[in-house]
Amino acid sequence: MTNKHERDIHTDFKDRMTYSDYLDLDSILNSQNRLSDHHDEMLFIVIHQVSELWIKLTLHELEAAVKAIQNEEYQPAFKMLARVSSIQTQIIKAWDVLSTMTPSEYLGFRDQLGNASGFQSYQYRLVEFALGYKTSHALKIYENEPEIYDRLKSAYEVPGLYDVAIEALAKAGFAIDQSVLERDLTETYQMNASVEQAWIEVYQDPDRYWNLYQLAEKLVDIEDWMQQWRFRHMKTVERIIGHKTGTGGSSGVGYLKQVLDHYFFPELWNVRTAL
């Protein structure tokens, strides 16, 4: 006997779109192409593919948030940035799953990777560009792939999230140095005293500068989670390969430890001490 709550469930999809059709599941689920017979290579591929999908959504939200802030549409921007922080927690948890792989298991298929490395993730570089950390080596990696290269180059040259936040401070009447407002956007952002003073004043009077105050905290959330992601990445790599050179030629753990010292929004962290 059919449950009355299930009588209206559609079962004839000859001329209708299915769940699988909508999500293009055949394409997604047939993209885990192992190069070895090792059981754990599937884990390695899936973790990185899932992370790239989350990064794709992160970029979708960050790019929209930048435009919203430029248009002084703060509430939609806050929603987007809060979503980015939630996405970041998911990517961080992925390292916990990858950490179930032992050094011996990874060595069972590592040679199959050649020089392929997460270091080459162009989407991750796009996130760094959006947060103001600009490096040119990612452009060189993709010189032979025009579509990706053009996207990277465009992101390399346009204002990032912190640039538009600083512009918002200037629009609100804060005295931001012209050198900051007219800086070379292809250079990694460097701390500036006028920006720090502006944020100090925002934190001293949050009721008056409520939108900017909320914006600052959303940025701190994102950087906090980003650093936690970087830390978990570093510890996972150390746990699995120790201090070996990475497959892409980087120093591996050494490089990952180095980037932990970088701040995307330095003045917002200095404010904690200055207040």
- The annotation places the binding site for heme at 233
What distance, in Å, lies between the first and last C-alpha atoms of the chain?
69
Annotated binding-site ranges: 44-48, 106, 110, 233, 247
Query: Which 8-state DSSP code applies to residue 3?
Result: -
Pick from 128, 126, 131: nearest CA to 142? 126
Contacts of 260 (CB under 8 A, 6+ apart): 227, 230, 231, 234
Distance CA 63, CA 126 (A): 10
Annotated binding site for substrate: 44-48, 106, 110, 247
Count other Cβ atoms within 10 Å, centred on residue 13.
11
Contacts of 59-68 with CB under 8 Å at 24 or more apart are 59/123, 59/126, 59/127, 59/130, 61/87, 62/127, 62/130, 62/161, 63/130, 65/161, 66/130, 66/159, 66/160, 66/161, 66/164
